[in-house]
Amino acid sequence: MENVRSRSRRDVDNAYAYSVQTFAKDMLEVADNLNRALDNVDKGAAETSAPLQSLVEGLQLTENGLRKIFHKHGIDRMDVNVGMTFDPNFHSALFQTPSETDVNGTISSIVSTGYMFKDRVLRPAGVSTVKSSIAPPKSDEI
């Protein structure tokens, strides 16, 4: 009987802890749109136009605030870099890039940022992978 109570309590705790997951996933679109807006600002034009500079600063403050709130609630960006080995647990391969110089199965570019929610993948990082004849090193060679 104690096992049933313990399991029920754990299930309720998990349901409470991860109840915000759907909402958080939807908020990632807002973060993506803020990042796209900041990435597409003409830096030269922003330096010469006070209203545009104010808009950029506002977008940066909003993006930083959103990132802090995400972190406060256990949502963090994945640390994904070009050259890392592709891991299907954390990455979603969107396409392959042919290469004769890079190692097969490594990440060649990052298309979309991945996020973790506590210990779970909220959204895998969208990446392109290298398609090459160069095999990755075996684990005993490392």
In the chain, the largest separation of any two C-alpha atoms, in whole Å, equals: 71
* Predicted confidence (pLDDT) per residue in 83-138, tens digit: 999 999 999 999 999 988 888 989 999 999 999 998 899 999 999 999 987 777 77
Domain ranges across the chain = 1-73, 76-142
Q: Is the pTM above the cut of 0.75? A: yes
- Checking if the pLDDT of 18 tops 80, the result is no
Reported CATH class of domain 76-142: mainly beta
Q: What percent of the chain has pLDDT over 90?
A: 56
- Checking if the pLDDT of 139 tops 70, the result is no
Superfamily of domain 1-73: GrpE nucleotide exchange factor, coiled-coil domain (3.90.20.20)
